[in-house]
């Protein structure tokens, strides 16, 4: 019999980034006995890396803004594949969630009038991102962390959840986790479980994600029989570092462009003027003079009366444009584009507004961004796809299992707007906590199913017992290289087909890794277990990408280069696991009611 420690909670939250902390705070506030289980130390989750800001229509920097404009921008940026109700809730509630953070001690940058300042970002009609220079995520996670540790929540740091537990009806009844420090196994009985595990971008070799981003929550949900949607939509952020090789992929905030930064190719041309898709025609400046005037107005704190620079198109558009410049031989020295802020703003302003970018380029690339341009290129940054949830409650298709933040899906459609992630976390984290607590208030504590727990533990211990398997790190590196090459920013049927075949082979290799036998902080062991999730999620993403025969948002098919105006313009891919096999089907997308439809700008439809 395996040894493990048992725990009982009303609500167990898996993950301690913005969504997990916000959910746990809400659950605890509702009177639930709440635990957070997180893979890393508290405050180190991926949210801490968020830079540019959190989108909320406070209207502080431009009073023409409001939730209706935010809703319209989110839907348009998502190429109308969003869950309209989530987009509505998000636009309506994000301002209150930001104000609440301030009441909990967050100190955002101020407008001249002393209110929370707001920054321009791609796809947002008005300056909308509440921010703290270029390290907004740090401020948000620290605020939530400080609130959380004084909310009576039990926190299990450096524990990884490996399995969800379910009763005979499939209802989620808790989870099994291992302590990364000493390898001890723990079983949790939970009336409600919330996934807040973040994303999957570690499946690509050029990515901006931390080590945690191995799709754990996505895979836990799949294995519990929950449905995932939109898994083909992966956001390649247009501006990651490209040089030197070891830092390739590290994020360069969109805030650089929001503060007036311009993109140029090797010929010195501002190529974004030539890359405006039909659906955004007329929305952006058409000359450098107009774009420069917009920056002048914004810097002066005036309400913009001219159109914004085309560098502030949505991320999918800018990433593909950079990719095209490089492919056609007009890339920067190391295969990217030049992002210049040095000639747009003073050195003093750059250091005040973008201090961590200044530091990052100086320390890691030997580049002074107040004097010279940065080299940037696309990096896997975010997955729009994830666990299918109810818009109001965030409950998944499995009873008792909730999801919030990046692991959940629906809000962003085919492409997420910058700044909508941090606001997503706090809006839907709160809702998940609230509804999970509500569900827990009138049900019995589930009994731990010993057999399920012991089976889970046995699976977890396998890599420690194999003596001659492969180094998990080697499989990990090769899987990421394969996904980068075959399921990257530009996809083809042929590449995706070979990726599916490769993934079958990777699954076998993952089942035969060996990490050494130590249970104490054994990084290889943890990686061997994470790899199982990475293969599942890579398969789900590839399968969905293969199915969608069009290009839209974060999914680009070289063999189907334009958006489909027919079936795919209103169809969602649904992925689930049936008897260890990942399956897919298509579903008609729900359309917004008339009062919301009238807010949209569908006349210039499609990307």
The β-bridge partners of 157 are 38
Using rule CB under 8 A, residue 523 touches other proteins: yes
CB of 256 to other proteins, least distance (A): 15
The DSSP bridge pattern shows strands 228-229 and 571-578 to be: antiparallel
Active site residue 257: yes
Give the torsion through C-alpha atoms of 40, 42, 46, 48, to 10 deg.
-150
The DSSP bridge pattern shows strands 129-130 and 154-157 to be: unpaired
Q: Cα(first)–Cα(last) distance of the chain, in Å?
A: 57
Q: CB of 424 within 8 A of CB of 405?
A: yes
Residues 159-188 that bind other proteins (CB under 8 A): 181
CB of 164 to other proteins, least distance (A): 24
d(CA 378, CA 222): 28
Candidates 410-418, 486-494, 512-520, 582-590 — which segment interacts with other proteins by CB under 8 A?
Answer: 512-520
Candidates 23-31, 111-119, 189-197, 445-453 — which segment interacts with other proteins by CB under 8 A?
Answer: 111-119
Applying CB under 8 A, which of residues 153, 228, 250, 574 lies at the interface with other proteins? 250
Q: CB of 576 within 8 A of CB of 587?
A: no
Using rule CB under 8 A, residue 225 touches other proteins: no
Q: CB of 215 within 8 A of CB of 540?
A: no
Using rule CB under 8 A, residue 471 touches other proteins: yes
Applying CB under 8 A, which of residues 66, 225, 335, 524 lies at the interface with other proteins? 524
Using rule CB under 8 A, residue 316 touches other proteins: no
Applying CB under 8 A, which of residues 152, 244, 561, 593 lies at the interface with other proteins? 244
CB of 155 to other proteins, least distance (A): 8
CB of 294 to other proteins, least distance (A): 22
d(CA 583, CA 579): 10
Which stretches does DSSP call E strand in 321-365?
337-340
The DSSP secondary-structure symbol of 404 reads: -
* Among 320, 294, 369, CA closest to 491: 320
Applying CB under 8 A, which of residues 107, 443, 494, 562 lies at the interface with other proteins? 107
Using rule CB under 8 A, residue 534 touches other proteins: no
d(CA 387, CA 397): 8
Applying CB under 8 A, which of residues 113, 268, 300, 501 lies at the interface with other proteins? 113
The β-bridge partners of 584 are 575
* Among 33, 37, 21, CA closest to 100: 21
Applying CB under 8 A, which of residues 13, 365, 417, 545 lies at the interface with other proteins? 365
Applying CB under 8 A, which of residues 88, 117, 118, 201 lies at the interface with other proteins? 117
The β-bridge partners of 13 are 36, 194
CB of 458 to other proteins, least distance (A): 20
CB of 446 to other proteins, least distance (A): 30
Candidates 311-319, 416-424, 436-444, 524-532 — which segment interacts with other proteins by CB under 8 A?
Answer: 524-532
d(CA 534, CA 201): 9
* Among 361, 370, 381, 365, CA closest to 318: 381
DSSP codes of every residue in 430-468: HHHHHHHHHHHTTSPPPPP-HHHHHHHHHHHHHHHH-SS
d(CA 301, CA 305): 12
Residues 137-156 that bind other proteins (CB under 8 A): 137-139, 142, 145-147, 149-150
Of 110 and 465, CB closest to other proteins = 110
The DSSP secondary-structure symbol of 184 reads: -
Residues 18-47 that bind other proteins (CB under 8 A): 40-46
Q: CB of 80 within 8 A of CB of 73?
A: no
d(CA 386, CA 408): 5
Using rule CB under 8 A, residue 459 touches other proteins: no
Using rule CB under 8 A, residue 347 touches other proteins: no
Residues 60-89 that bind other proteins (CB under 8 A): none
Using rule CB under 8 A, residue 603 touches other proteins: no
Of 185 and 251, CB closest to other proteins = 251
CB of 7 to other proteins, least distance (A): 18
What is the phi/psi pair of residue 159, to 5°? -115, 140
Applying CB under 8 A, which of residues 9, 476, 560, 568 lies at the interface with other proteins? 476
* Among 32, 377, 316, CA closest to 191: 32
Q: CB of 71 within 8 A of CB of 88?
A: yes
Of 181 and 562, CB closest to other proteins = 181
Of 422 and 575, CB closest to other proteins = 422
CB of 486 to other proteins, least distance (A): 21
Using rule CB under 8 A, residue 102 touches other proteins: yes
Of 309 and 378, CB closest to other proteins = 378
Using rule CB under 8 A, residue 16 touches other proteins: no
Tell me whether the omega of the peptide bond preceding residue 389 falls within 30 degrees of 0, making it cis: no
Determine which one of 163, 257, 381, 548 is catalytic: 257
Using rule CB under 8 A, residue 103 touches other proteins: yes
CB of 129 to other proteins, least distance (A): 16
Candidates 93-101, 227-235, 441-449, 486-494 — which segment interacts with other proteins by CB under 8 A?
Answer: 93-101
Determine which one of 218, 237, 439, 555 is catalytic: 237
CB of 563 to other proteins, least distance (A): 34
Of 38 and 322, CB closest to other proteins = 38
Applying CB under 8 A, which of residues 24, 27, 36, 48 lies at the interface with other proteins? 48
Of 157 and 589, CB closest to other proteins = 157
In terms of C-beta density within 10 A (0-12 exposed, 13-18 middle, 19 or more buried), how is residue 366 classed?
exposed
CB of 314 to other proteins, least distance (A): 24
* Among 103, 136, 145, 104, CA closest to 117: 136
Active site residue 237: yes
Using rule CB under 8 A, residue 99 touches other proteins: yes
Q: In what order do the strands lie in the sheet with 54-55?
A: 54-55, 129-130, 118-119
d(CA 524, CA 531): 10
| Catalytic annotation, residues | 237, 257
């Amino acid at each position: 019999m395996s040894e493990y420690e048992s725990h009982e909670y009303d609500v167990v939250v898996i993950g301690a980034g913005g969504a997990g902390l916000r959910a746990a705070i809400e659950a605890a506030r509702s009177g639930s006995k709440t635990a957070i289980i997180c893979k890393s130390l508290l405050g180190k989750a991926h949210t801490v890396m968020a830079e540019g800001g959190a989108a909320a229509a406070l209207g502080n920097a431009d009073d023409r803004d409001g939730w209706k404009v935010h809703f319209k921008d989110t839907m348009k940026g998502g190429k109308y594949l969003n869950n309209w109700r989530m987009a509505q809730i998000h636009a309506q509630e994000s301002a209150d969630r930001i104000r609440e953070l301030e009441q909990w001690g967050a100190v955002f940058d101020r407008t001249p009038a002393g209110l929370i300042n707001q920054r321009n970002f791609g796809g947002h009609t008005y300056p909308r991102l509440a921010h703290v220079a270029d390290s907004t995520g740090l401020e948000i996670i620290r605020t939530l962390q400080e609130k959380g540790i004084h909310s009576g929540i039990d926190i299990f740091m450096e524990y990884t959840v490996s399995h969800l537990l379910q009763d005979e009806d499939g209802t989620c009844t808790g989870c099994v986790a291992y302590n990364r420090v000493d390898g001890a196994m723990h079983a949790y009985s939970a009336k409600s479980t919330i996934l807040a595990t973040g994303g999957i971008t570690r499946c690509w070799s050029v990515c901006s994600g931390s080590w945690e981003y191995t799709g754990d929550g996505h895979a836990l949900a799949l294995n519990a029989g929950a449905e995932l949607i939109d898994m083909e939509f992966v956001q390649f952020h247009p501006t990651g570092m490209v040089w030197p090789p070891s830092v390739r992929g590290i994020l360069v905030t969109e805030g650089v462009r929001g503060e007036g930064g311009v993109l140029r190719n090797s010929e010195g041309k501002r190529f974004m003027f030539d890359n405006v898709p039909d659906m955004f025609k007329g929305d952006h400046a058409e000359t450098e003079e107009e774009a420069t005037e917009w920056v002048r107005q914004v810097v002066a704190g005036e309400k913009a009366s001219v159109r914004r620079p085309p560098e502030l198109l949505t991320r999918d558009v800018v990433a593909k444009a950079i990719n095209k410049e490089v492919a056609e031989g007009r890339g920067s020295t190391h295969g990217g584009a030049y992002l210049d802020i040095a000639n747009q703003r003073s050195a003093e302003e750059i250091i005040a507004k973008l201090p961590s970018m200044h530091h990052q380029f100086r320390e890691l690339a030997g580049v002074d961004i107040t004097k010279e341009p940065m080299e940037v290129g696309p990096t896997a940054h975010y997955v729009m796809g994830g666990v299918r949830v109810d818009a109001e409650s965030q409950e998944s298709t499995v009873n008792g299992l909730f999801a919030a933040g990046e692991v959940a899906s629906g809000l962003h459609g085919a492409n997420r707007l910058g700044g909508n992630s941090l606001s997503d976390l706090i809006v839907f984290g709160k809702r998940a906590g609230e509804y999970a607590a509500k569900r827990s208030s009138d049900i019995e504590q589930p009994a731990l199913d010993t057999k399920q727990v012991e089976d889970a533990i046995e699976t977890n211990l396998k890599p420690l017992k194999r003596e001659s398997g492969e180094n998990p790190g080697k499989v990990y590196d090769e899987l990421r290289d394969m996904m980068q090459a075959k399921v990257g920013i530009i996809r083809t049927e042929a590449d995706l087909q070979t990726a599916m075949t490769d993934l079958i082979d990777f699954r076998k290799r993952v089942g035969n890794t060996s990490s050494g036998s130590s249970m104490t902080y054994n990084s290889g062991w943890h990686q061997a277990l994470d790899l199982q999730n990475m293969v599942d999620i890579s398969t789900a993403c590839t399968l969905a990408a293969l199915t969608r025969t069009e290009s839209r948002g974060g999914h680009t098919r070289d063999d189907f280069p334009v958006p489909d105006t027919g079936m795919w313009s209103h169809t969602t891919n649904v992925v689930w696991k049936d008897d260890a096999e990942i399956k897919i089907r298509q579903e008609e997308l729900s359309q917004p009611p008339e009062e919301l439809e009238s807010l949209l700008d569908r006349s210039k439809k499609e990307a």
